[in-house]
A = this chain, B = another copy of it.
């Protein structure tokens, strides 16, 4: 069966020229994802990207004003995609608890399959989110960027799942804290399990992370 071709629209504040609008733009996106994953965000440069895509550094600057904005673009795309997955996973489910459980799975699970309809490899992008996204909002410019709407899609996801928490327990006081803790926490756990395993209790094969955060949420909001 053919996959549903969703289209994720990205706010124009996140680019100078829309990368979806040309081959070069799409090449910038798909190859920057691969390269950031391979060499890490610090080592990644527009010059190196230009070499691998057979294009010039200055041409890339016509799409993104800096490598930081490119990272923010990727992160924003990721959260829009997660929101789409959330909507899909929770559609037509009446039980608030079941809905929330499904949502937590979407937020905390691994991504195993690239949807292949687009030039964006979600499996690799997920690794970038885990390894690099903290760098995006740990800058001195965060307030200015937030005002421009750079983190809107992330905030939307947190809001959406916080609403599900409230559906389960309307008296729970800290839904946003809980959900942002789960999101950031699960990313940390995946990072730690790879590099600082003594900070986790991840055992091979088992998807402990999903279990752990599901239990954590359900027990915490239990009244």
Known contacts A140-B39, A140-B43; A181/B181 CB under 8 A = yes
Q: Which of A11-19, A26-34, A116-124, A196-204 contacts B (4 or more CB under 8 A)?
A: A196-204
**In the bound complex, CA of A17 to CA of B219 (Å):** 49
**In the bound complex, CA of A80 to CA of B207 (Å):** 32
> A40, B140: Cβ atoms under 8 Å?
yes
What B residues does A7 contact at CB under 8 A?
A: none
What B residues does A40 contact at CB under 8 A?
A: 139-140
Chain A residues 130 to 163 lying within 8 A of chain B, measured CB to CB, are 131-132, 134-135, 137-140, 142-143, 146, 151, 154-155, 158-159
What's the number of copies of this chain in the assembled complex?
2
> B137, A131: Cβ atoms under 8 Å?
no
A127 at the interface (CB under 8 A from B): no
Q: For the complex of A and B, list the 5 residue pairs with the smallest distance between their C-beta atoms, beginning with the closest.
A: A181-B185, A134-B134, A40-B140, A180-B199, A174-B201
**In the bound complex, CA of A196 to CA of B132 (Å):** 18
Residue of B nearest to A192 (CB): B180
> A208, B177: Cβ atoms under 8 Å?
yes
Least Cβ–Cβ distance between A100 and chain B, in angstroms:
16
What B residues does A177 contact at CB under 8 A?
A: 189, 199-202, 208-209, 212
